[in-house]
């Protein structure tokens, strides 16, 4: 009976969402009770869909239900805590291989509810309670359970790394700040997180914008493709109908020609058969005079029919050849068209944004060897170090001599101050008259002097 009574108590004092002891129990209008944080989180999620319901009995509400504190359950839970009676956790509340376990549980460990960045430990709900109840823990930073808490400790000083060194792009502790990172550009990890969070949010916004653009591109591609398919099907249907009509016309023309030629030959055949019959009759005539008289009347027909020469009719061969030629031309056109279609590449020009380099190592990833082109370098520049170094060498002179051979296409400039030194020579073909010109800097003078 005692066991049954405990089971009843457990059902009453446990939250059906977190399956643990009620914490700040509140009741919804349908009568079900939950932890305040649990039911608030549930209602916040449902509010995104503009519908609200009880997670246990599934009763729906037209508006967000008002939460009423359940004083009786709150007192009952507190009394149970004082007497040490706790509801036994369900099997799924125990930590598995993939879960973060409570660091303070003995025996079979429960799942951690939170991890503390100050204590560098993870707590189940029972062992986390002092962080909520005691003012001593109010400044502690609670986060979602993490297996990587040790990564927040400095490997050299075993202190929590709460500082970010922007110079070296790494987390450090306060002892590192006074040692090898002294004088570096450093900020708190929270400040760096805030700045990077803005960058993340901006990248999210940019990414969402790009996703929309890509979706528009997909819709444009689908629309263009559908139109192209529709147009090609329509065009080929018209082409098929044209071929069918041409085939019908050729067939009718061939049959008409066939009938005409057959009719002509049969007429001639009948005339010839009639002549043969008359000749047979003539051959049996016993009267010589009658025979000669009738023979003269038949001689003209005999001469016309005797010239008949049986030969293949060329008309049908010409038509057959023309049709074959049309077929070959059409095949060539279709083959060429398909080749052009196959060679045409349409690709969406998409380039995802790359993160801006933050460290020297990031910059070096994009480094490329650059050399200067001696063919395009200014004549006053001297290239060296494998065309990677340029030195200004155009010598200054107070007197410049110019030599011109227009017909030979030679134009040379000399320094004639003391010794004569070639400064620059041009070899080309001059097609227009040349004129002397000077460029005068501010405060300087230029003079064409007489040669002595």
Terminal Cα distance for the chain, rounded: 136
Q: Which two tokens stand for residue 144?
A: 């979602």
* pLDDT (average), residues 390-416: 83
pLDDT per residue as tens digits for the range 96-128 = 888 899 988 877 888 999 988 888 889 998 889
Tell me, what's the pLDDT at 189?
Answer: 85
User: From CA 182, how far away is CA 173, in angstroms rounded?
Assistant: 12
Global pTM value:
0.39
Backbone φ and ψ of 186, nearest 5°? -125, 150
The interaxial angle of helices 2-13 and 71-83, nearest 10 deg, is 130
258: Cβ contacts below 8 Å, ≥ 6 apart: 316
Of 53-67, 305-319, 427-441, the range with the lowest mean pLDDT is 305-319
Q: What is the mean pLDDT of the chain?
A: 82
Q: How far is CA 155 from CA 98, 150, 190, in A?
A: 25, 9, 20
Instruction: Identify whether the C-beta of residue 153 lies closer than 8 Å to the C-beta of residue 160.
Output: yes
> What would you report as the CA-atom Rg of the chain, rounded to the nearest whole angstrom?
53
Tell me, what's the pLDDT at 8?
Answer: 41
Instruction: Identify whether the C-beta of residue 121 lies closer than 8 Å to the C-beta of residue 103.
Output: yes
Tell me, what's the pLDDT at 6?
Answer: 43
Q: How far is CA 417 from CA 414, 422, 433, in A?
A: 9, 12, 28
Of the candidate CATH numbers 3.30.40.10, 3.30.565.10, 3.30.930.10, 3.10.20.440, the domain formed by 1-88 belongs to: 3.30.40.10
Q: Output the CA torsion sign for 182, 183, 188, 189.
A: negative
Instruction: Identify whether the C-beta of residue 163 lies closer than 8 Å to the C-beta of residue 141.
Output: no
Instruction: Identify whether the C-beta of residue 69 lies closer than 8 Å to the C-beta of residue 22.
Output: no
Residue the block writes with tokens 């990833």: 365
* pLDDT (average), residues 71-90: 71
Q: Does residue 10 register a pLDDT over 60?
A: no
Q: Does residue 2 register a pLDDT over 50?
A: no
Domain coordinates of the chain in residue numbers? 1-88, 397-432
For 331-355, give the DSSP string: HHHHHHHHHHHHH--------PPPP
Helix ranges, 178-287 (H)? 189-283
Instruction: Identify whether the C-beta of residue 174 lies closer than 8 Å to the C-beta of residue 162.
Output: yes
* pLDDT (average), residues 426-440: 86
pLDDT tier at 79, thresholds 50, 70, 90: confident
Convert 89-99 to b/e letters by CB count within 10 Å (16 or more is b). Answer: beeeebbeeeb
Instruction: Identify whether the C-beta of residue 36 lies closer than 8 Å to the C-beta of residue 17.
Output: no
Strand partners, 402: 413
For 402-445, give the DSSP string: EEEETTTTEEEEEE-SSS-EEEEEEE----S---------TT--
- Helix (H) / strand (E) element for 176: namely helix 174-177
For 47-78, give the DSSP string: HTTT-EE-TTT--EESSPPPPEE-HHHHHHHH
The interaxial angle of helices 189-283 and 288-305, nearest 10 deg, is 170
102: Cβ contacts below 8 Å, ≥ 6 apart: 95, 109, 110, 111, 112, 122, 123, 124, 127
Higher pLDDT, 111 or 3: 111
Residue the block writes with tokens 């010794």: 419
Tell me, what's the pLDDT at 3?
Answer: 41
pLDDT per residue as tens digits for the range 262-316 = 898 898 889 888 888 888 888 888 888 888 887 777 765 555 555 565 655 667 8
User: From CA 46, how far away is CA 289, in angstroms rounded?
Assistant: 130
User: From CA 432, how far away is CA 329, in angstroms rounded?
Assistant: 56
* pLDDT (average), residues 345-372: 69
Q: Does residue 86 register a pLDDT over 70?
A: no
């Amino acid at each position: 009976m005692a066991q049954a009574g405990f089971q009843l108590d457990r059902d009453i004092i446990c939250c059906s969402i977190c399956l643990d002891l009620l914490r700040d129990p509140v009741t919804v209008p349908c009568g079900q009770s939950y932890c305040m944080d649990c039911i608030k989180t549930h209602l916040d999620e449902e509010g995104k869909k503009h519908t609200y319901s009880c997670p246990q009995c599934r009763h729906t509400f037209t508006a967000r239900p008002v939460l009423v504190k359940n004083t009786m359950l709150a007192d009952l839970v507190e009394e149970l805590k004082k007497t040490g009676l706790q509801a036994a956790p369900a099997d799924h509340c125990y930590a598995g291989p993939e879960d973060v376990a409570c660091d303070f549980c003995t025996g079979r460990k429960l799942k951690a509810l939170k991890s503390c960045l100050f204590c560098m430990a993870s707590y189940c709900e029972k062992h986390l309670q002092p962080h909520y109840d005691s003012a001593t823990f109010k400044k502690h930073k609670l986060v979602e359970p993490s297996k990587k808490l040790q990564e927040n400790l400095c490997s050299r000083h075993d202190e929590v790394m709460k500082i970010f060194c922007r110079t070296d792009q790494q987390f450090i502790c306060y002892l590192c700040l006074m040692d090898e990172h002294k004088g570096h550009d450093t900020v708190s990890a929270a400040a760096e997180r805030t700045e990077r969070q803005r960058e993340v949010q901006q990248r999210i916004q940019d990414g969402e914008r790009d996703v929309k653009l890509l979706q528009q591109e997909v819709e444009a591609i689908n629309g263009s493709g559908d139109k192209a398919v529709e147009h090609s099907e329509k065009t080929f249907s018209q082409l098929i109908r044209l071929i069918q009509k041409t085939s019908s016309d050729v067939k009718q023309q061939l049959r008409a020609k066939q009938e005409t030629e057959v009719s002509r030959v049969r007429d001639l055949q009948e005339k010839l058969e009639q002549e043969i019959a008359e000749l047979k009759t003539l051959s049996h005539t016993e009267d010589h005079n009658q025979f000669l008289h009738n023979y003269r009347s038949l001689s003209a027909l005999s001469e016309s029919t005797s010239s008949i020469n049986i030969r293949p009719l060329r008309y049908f061969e010409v038509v057959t050849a023309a049709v074959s030629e049309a077929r070959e031309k059409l095949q060539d056109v279709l083959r060429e068209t398909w080749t052009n279609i196959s060679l045409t590449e349409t690709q969406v020009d998409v380039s995802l944004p790359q993160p801006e380099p933050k460290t020297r190592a990031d910059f070096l990833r994009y480094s490329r060897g650059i050399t200067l082109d001696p063919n395009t370098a200014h004549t006053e520049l001297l290239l060296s170090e494998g065309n990677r170094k340029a030195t200004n060498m155009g010598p200054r002179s107070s007197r410049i001599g110019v030599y011109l051979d227009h017909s030979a296409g030679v134009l040379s400039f000399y320094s004639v101050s003391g010794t004569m030194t070639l400064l620059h020579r041009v070899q080309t073909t001059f097609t227009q008259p040349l004129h002397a010109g000077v460029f005068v800097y501010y405060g300087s003078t230029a003079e064409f002097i007489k040669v002595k």
